[in-house]
Structure 1
Amino acid sequence: MTTPFDGITPLPHLGVIRAEGDDAVKFLHGQLTHDFALLDLQHARLTAFLSAKGRMQASFIGFKRSPTEVLLVCSRDLLTPTLKRISMFVMRAKAKLSDASEEFLLYGLAGSAIEKVAGSAMQTSAKADLGNISIIGLPPADTVPRALWVAPAGTPAPEGTPLAEGVWAWGEVQSGVATLTAPLVDTFVPQMLNYESVDGVSFKKGCYPGQEVVARSQFRGAIKRRAFIAHADAPLHAGEEVFSAAEPEQACGMVAQTAPAPGGGSDAIVVLQLSAAESGALHAGSADGQVLRLGTLPYALKDDL
């Protein structure tokens, strides 16, 4: 790494949906890909909200602030339409969903900043509460630990070395776990972003919208696309198509998330047809666009476990 990945940064690109009420947990359990019924106060969940066809509408980091209050952290550009859609299913449940983005502060912590703020290292998906402050372990980036700091508005910001927004974005890419944004809505089933391999899907819970599609993809060998980490020498954009020189007339994938690379160019999470990933000679934007070079994921895929 040529750029230090150690410090603290605000996360204005994220928003917060609050679910509260006696049925809040039960309601979310029936709507999202992960098990919220068994979620305790010491852990968080990576999860997604799907269409009936199994396509991702939003992704979240969800955690309980109390037995009757859950916060869902998501990309801010998806919050309003996602909140509207999920709220349609509340009906008679004793649960209220609202946009609580202005009621909470969100910061990213990287490297030694986590121990300085939390008092100890954080495992992925572990949650520690310091009064009203919640700190959630995130997947590491290039082996460097990361965490999400969430606190009520008005709470003093965590102290530490400022971390540039672009460097944090690069860390998100290096984690290999994409956050769904507006250009990607209704494009991927969770396995295309490797969510089942990073504990973003439970196959033991009950039904939720799109569950049959997800299960069929998993157990009938229907996963034909996967997420990979890639590098290009010029800027990339979420939603940009990827082409293979072997079949230049048709896109074989899409850029899911991107950030400036410390050494120049762009790093990205890209979703590719498995056959195209194996063939090499990948290009962004068009069949003769800039070259994409695939890197190594920081985790094993479920198929490989």
Structure 2
Amino acid sequence: MQITILGGGGFLGRKFAERLAAQGHLGGAPVTGLVLFDLAAPKPLAAPFPVTCLGGDVASLADVSAAIPPGTGLVVHLAAVVSAAAEADFDLGMRVNLHGTLAVIEACRKLDTPPRLLFTSSVASFGGGQSALLPDDARQVPTNSYGAQKAAAELLLQDASRKGFLDAVSIRLPTVIVRPGRPNKAASSFFSAILREPLLGLKTPLPVEDAFRVWVCSPRRAVDWLFHAAVMDTAPLGVDRGINPPGLAVSVGEMLAALSTAERALVKREPDPAIAAIVGGWPAEFAATRARALGFAPQEGVPEILAAFRADDLEATRADRGL
């Protein structure tokens, strides 16, 4: 199977690629080649199959078509401008998050056989805020530009699936913690930072109250969901290609309780109304009944999330940060 990862230079794209390289197959089908595509060409990856690393513009049909060669059976579409950045720069968010998805659809239409396409959507495509526990049939009513762009892209992919251009599964990822590396421009970046930075011995601001609740998942579980979606039977999805995976509803205070006393002392309460306004509109919890019935594994607790970060990413993050 030939596979393409758009956004292959990001941390989830890299983790997906590394797992592919380690196992050499997907659902029992040997991987025959992998394309990693991002704004700048991703770092090379050692694998038992050919790996091509390309840089380009996800909103350019020519660039995306080059990244999705004939014979591609799976496209993992992770490329995105994150939440706060999309809110600050509307044109950039529209170009990457919406027009980029249109380019991906057009590139897939050129293939002789429609590929499976995995799209990472977001809980930001919903509203509801702290009081919400959303059922699977909840309407997507985003309260930010990023969420609106993700919801629009989902509808386009859903229709492209109906038309037979591709076979999409849109996974509305919870906030992913703990992200390795450095803080980014996502409004939700602080949810990782309040765990990651103290583990590195660094101070970090907390822009919301300790009682603030958030729907989260670990990088490990996010990759698990992508692998499951890559090989699942999509017939039971029907026209509705959106999945609310079974994340974990947790408060900031419960997250901090998993740290030591000395680590918690490094988290400084610094209210930020702009950040709070963005994340405050996101739902705090989803029922995720459909996803469980479709075989998506539930997220484990915060101690397990921290243990996974320590095992998988802490030392690499320490080295990357020069600590």
TM over 0.5: no
TM range (shorter): under 0.3
Q: Report the TM-score, using the length of structure 1 for normalisation.
A: 0.27
More strand per residue: 1 or 2? 1
More helix per residue: 1 or 2? 2
